[in-house]
Amino acid sequence: MKRVFAIALLALSLNFAGIAGEIPLVAHVYGRSFVSLNGKWNYVVDPLENGYYDYRLRPLRNGFFVNAKATRPGDLVEYDLDASPTMDIPSDWNTRDEKLFFYEGTVWFKRDFKINKQEGKKYVIYFGAVNYSAKVWVNGKKAGEHAGGYTPFNFDVTGLVTDGDNFVVVKVDNKRHLDAVPTVNMDWWNYGGITREVMVVELPATYIEDYSVQLPGRRRDMIVGSVKMNEAVAGREITLSIPELGITRVTRTDERGEARFEVKAKPRLWSPSSPKLYDILVSHDGETLRDQIGFRVIETRGKQILLNGEPVFLRGVSIHEEAPFHQGRAWSEDHALTLLGWAKEMGCNYVRLAHYPHNEKMVRAAERLGIMVWSEIPVYWTISFENEDTYRNAERQLHDMITRDHNRCAVIIWSIANETPRGEARDRFLSRLASHARAMDDTRLISMAMEVTGDNRGVNTLHDNMNEHVDVISFNEYVGWYRGNNESARAMTWVVPYNKPVIVSEFGGGALQGRYGEKTRRWTEEYQEELYRANLEMLDKIEGLSGLSPWILVDFYSPRRQLPGVQDFFNRKGLISNWGVKKKAFRVMQEYYEKKAREIK
């Protein structure tokens, strides 16, 4: 059980003091007392970053972040955050302001808020995500900064907030950089803005920073847990309760501020057919965190994936975090339920959330609906694999993804990369990420989306040194779209020379919904329909095939997709149009998954 508590312990190894004001993530913020900062924020577009640099490109002492006001007729203040237009937050500026559709650069955001500041309490400002880099000031004073567009972060602002009126200013910059994660080249929209929820969380001076409650390894007759306080204080009393199982355990923190539990129990196991969740209460000195947690065992045996000891076929689909019907970054529970509802209608028991960690509401909704989750960090295509700062950025995103979702039983796969070019530097980079993920959490599977090479004889062979570092062999293939044609797919064979389960993490092709014609004509629904039939016939022959996540559930915005009258900056590989209309290939997948569901029984 050594690694059961690794998440809490490993958090200590990250030097948060060196990350410009950040503190370790506060677990389960939705279970805390908080003031929501969602709603109308003023915003100022600043392409030259005049609000941050002077004309010699030196950082300003009194930039936009001080929220200055002219108090005398002769005062020169060349901005007014209060008089600037407003934007709903969470959102992205690309779809909220048509002038900013293609904009990449800096936008300033400002929000006024009130709190009832209590003596002896801590106040933490929490951002679900900001794309890509954020600098945050509260009442004109620097709170901290963060890089990475898809993971949460928070700052301790106890010394910055006042009782009553306050304001927060955020400098958001979504410019792409070669050494960033993701890098400059990608196939989804670089939505800029404060894209997930913002809140000011009120906490006790000594609070429960993180906790873990789960089954240890493959055992099903015991529940183990750990609690980590924000301070290394010994002797604090911690209580764990699971009322439905009749469990109440009391323990005390050690000198590191950590407490551990081990309880004999046989919980009903979570599965897609029975997504059982238990109410969990973790208490300390009047603070009680209430969560819902499921228990399950995910493992591999040879070329099989086992859920709770039984073989399972992952009937899946890939999903981008794009709002249904109106585009833009998805963030709400309604968005999640719509997207996952379409996946369920297709027959899915699993989704690949590509190519970055999706919002917490998406993961929690999947858990309630009985949908297993592949969660991924945006190590995508050609990252700067030899750059140590790039590695640290990727590792931090991996760390934060696991920290946020380690109690979510729906998550069965941590993915460390997508379609990366093979090479020694890349292998070192990714193997380090795999080791980090295992050190944090050995109760889930590790995978990544690899690439396959083919030859003129129609033989597709997977060769990737990372096979040694993953539990599941996953790869993307686009036979019938980027290589070969629909007819040649049926003649192709596949060689996966590893004794591990296989997931085809992507396959598919584009179609403009409502365009009909011969099945040999590109962009028609008939072409896409035939592509799916041919690929399923081909892929079904792979030894050890344990899952599919075709690309993709819904058409989504991408600046790489420019064909007028067809793409219009949409990737049209969706099984559903951007307006929610199902294409013919949707029914092909639905029928295939109905057959697979019958076979597994």
CATH code assigned to 310-600:
3.20.20.80
| 183 touches 49 (CB < 8 A) | no
- Pairwise pLDDT comparison (96 vs 14), residue with the higher score: 96
* Predicted TM-score (pTM) of this structure: 0.95
Amino acid at residue number 598 = R
The answer, yes or no, to whether residue 12 has pLDDT greater than 70, is no
Mean of the per-residue pLDDT values for the chain? 94
Map out the domains of the chain as residue ranges.
15-203, 216-295, 310-600
Per-residue pLDDT tens over the stretch 364-408: 999 999 999 999 999 999 999 999 999 999 999 999 999 999 999
pLDDT confidence bin for 17, thresholds 50/70/90? very low
The reported pLDDT for the residue numbered 456 is 58
How does DSSP assign 146-167, residue by residue? EE-SSS-EEEE-TTT--SEEEE
Per-residue pLDDT tens over the stretch 404-422: 999 999 999 999 999 999 9
Q: Which CATH number fits domain 15-203: 3.20.20.70, 3.40.50.261, 2.60.120.260, 3.30.70.20?
A: 2.60.120.260
d(CA 169, CA 144): 11
d(CA 87, CA 194): 10
d(CA 108, CA 20): 19
Cα R_g (the chain), whole angstroms? 25
| 588 touches 333 (CB < 8 A) | no
Q: Which residues are within 8 A (CB) of 568 and not within 5 positions of it... i.e. 6 or more apart?
A: 561, 562
**Which tokens hold the place of 509?**
């092709």
Intra-chain end-to-end CA distance of the chain, in Å: 33
pLDDT confidence bin for 13, thresholds 50/70/90? very low
The reported pLDDT for the residue numbered 1 is 42
Q: Kind of pairing, strands 198-204 and 121-127?
A: antiparallel
Q: Which CATH number fits domain 216-295: 3.20.20.140, 3.40.920.10, 2.60.40.10, 3.40.190.290?
A: 2.60.40.10
Cis, peptide link before residue 90, omega less than 30° from 0: yes
Q: How many residues does the chain have?
A: 601
Amino acid at residue number 564 = P
The reported pLDDT for the residue numbered 101 is 97
How does DSSP assign 102-139, residue by residue? T--SEEEEEEEEEE---TTEEEEEEES-EESEEEEEET
The answer, yes or no, to whether residue 234 has pLDDT greater than 70, is yes
The answer, yes or no, to whether residue 487 has pLDDT greater than 80, is yes
d(CA 457, CA 291): 55
Mean predicted confidence (pLDDT) in 197-221: 95
| 110 touches 81 (CB < 8 A) | yes
Mean predicted confidence (pLDDT) in 83-107: 97
Q: Which residues are within 8 A (CB) of 135 and not within 5 positions of it... i.e. 6 or more apart?
A: 52, 65, 142, 144, 145, 170, 171
| 167 touches 112 (CB < 8 A) | yes
